Amino acid sequence: MSAVESRGESASGGDPAENFHSVSLVIPFADAKHCTIVQRSLQADPEPVRSHCVKSIEADDTSLRVKISAKDIKNLRNATTNFFELLDLVLKTIEEFAP
């Protein structure tokens, strides 16, 4: 698993108030089936508006690509922590019940 970036990206061409912070992750899996299960489980509910975050989750064969963006670094940290907690729960569920 690797964190690829955490940097400000200008949304409107240079206004610091419009900068976004983001974290990109690539999470490898042993097979495409588990990768798809995790993607569908984590995408089941949209991000709440109050989180002020945007999250994209894409399955690429045996890798899960995740990008979380937020204007505020605190919201980004909270969303990233929440993502890892949910990922851990899904992985434990797969381990317990998957054939």
pLDDT tens, residue by residue, 20-43: 899 999 999 999 999 999 999 999
pLDDT score at 9 = 46
Task: Say if residues 69 and 22 touch (Cβ distance below 8 Å).
Answer: yes
Task: Say if residues 87 and 68 touch (Cβ distance below 8 Å).
Answer: no
CA 30, CA 20: separation in Å to the nearest integer? 33
CA angle 78, 82, 84 (to 5 degrees): 120
pLDDT score at 50 = 79
For the whole model, what pTM was predicted? Answer: 0.78
Strand duo 53-60 + 8-10: pairing: unpaired
DSSP state of 8: E
pLDDT score at 26 = 98
Residues of the chain with pLDDT under 50: 1-17
Q: Which CATH class is domain 2-97?
A: alpha beta
DSSP state of 44: S
Residue 13: CB atoms within 10 Å: 6
Residue 9: CB atoms within 10 Å: 11
pLDDT score at 18 = 60
